[in-house]
Amino acid sequence: MNSLLGRLVCSANLANSLGKRAISTTEKLCLFWEKDDKGGYTDPLPPFTTRMKVGLSELRKEVVLWKEEFKEAFDGDPILIHRPGETDIAWRFKTEESLEKWKVVCDADHNEGYSQCSLTRNNHGNGVFSGNINLRVPKDGRVKRAGYCNMKTFAPRRSFKREAYYDWTGYNTLVMKVRGDGRTYLLNLATRGYFDMTWNDMYHYQLYTRGGPYWQIAKIPFSKFFFASKGRIQDEQRAIRLDMISAFGISAQDRHGGPFSLEIDYIGLEYDPRHVEEFAYEQYELENGLAGT
């Protein structure tokens, strides 16, 4: 009741300041708190004293981040001009703290296989995504295929753990400097939207690597990424929304078991004025969204 009253008062004050009368019950209008995606199905909370210690330590960090966001919004963002051929680095692995931006999972983490993988830094300050792909299927009658490893960025957050997105509208090309082992890796761009029916939307493209000691710079236009949901390529394709990128990931699942290793110098973004393609795949208007109807 107090939360609802606070929202009404806050929205009323905002409306009066604008010279209009209005009532709004939108939770995100004046609050930092956002609803949990799991809808209440969460693990039991730790003791109150533990929560207080963790909460106070996190509060200091969030207040500092909130001050920076407020200052940036007050000053106003400058107009960015992306020079052709100039790569803006999004992720690198020069420090140990850079590894904290990524989470690494495999089928064994979900009791769906026996693969293993890790993300580490080598002596040259590069990230190494390596492990072993095991195609052996557990005999539980549930899993039909096994053998995958994945590294993925954590979802971007604003202060006080509010949801945010990467805005890449000023770019049209993904650039990676890698040294591979000859395997084909799958690049993943998650575009988790506002509604739960879009939380599994993702765009993919293959990263072909060559073995040997030499580096390669892969430039992949965003127009080449194809649309899928829950690992299934969709019949009705559509161009990616570059203003709602929620995560970037790399998967090793080329159906060939054995060890793998991908060394990464950087992952960046580039604007190429010569690339004018909006979307590389057919966009038919299909009845009910199904092919062949």
When pLDDT is cut at 50, 70 and 90, the band that residue 162 belongs to is confident
Over residues 91-95, the mean pLDDT reads 94
Which of 122-131, 162-171, 275-284 has the highest mean predicted lDDT (pLDDT)? 122-131
Q: Which pLDDT score, from 0 to 100, does residue 227 have?
A: 94
Over residues 181-195, the mean pLDDT reads 90
Over residues 250-265, the mean pLDDT reads 93
Indicate the pTM of the whole model.
0.76
Percent of the chain with pLDDT over 70: 78
Q: What is the pLDDT of residues 274-284, one digit of tens each?
A: 999 989 988 76
The token pair that represents 266 in the structure block: 């950087």
Domains detected in the chain = 1-31 (no CATH), 88-289 (2.60.120.430)
Q: What is the pLDDT of residues 11-54, one digit of tens each?
A: 444 444 444 444 444 444 444 555 566 565 556 778 888 888 88
Over residues 56-79, the mean pLDDT reads 76
Q: Which pLDDT score, from 0 to 100, does residue 3 have?
A: 43
Percent of the chain with pLDDT over 90: 46
Q: Which pLDDT score, from 0 to 100, does residue 211 have?
A: 87
Q: Map 125-176 to HEC letters.
A: CCEEEEEEECCCCCCCCCCCCCCCEEEEECCCEEHHHEECCECCCCCCEEEE
Q: What is the pLDDT of residues 199-211, one digit of tens each?
A: 888 999 999 999 8
When pLDDT is cut at 50, 70 and 90, the band that residue 98 belongs to is very high
Q: Which long-range contacts (CB under 8 A, 24 or more apart) does 112-119 make?
A: 112/138, 112/143, 112/146, 113/137, 113/138, 113/143, 113/146, 113/147, 113/148, 114/138, 114/146, 115/146, 115/147, 115/148, 115/149, 116/149, 117/149, 117/150, 117/151, 117/252, 119/151
CB crowding 136-147: b at 16 or more within 10 Å, else e: ebeeeeeeeebb
Q: Which pLDDT score, from 0 to 100, does residue 21 have?
A: 41
Burial class (CB within 10 angstroms; exposed 0-12, middle 13-18, buried 19+) of 182: exposed
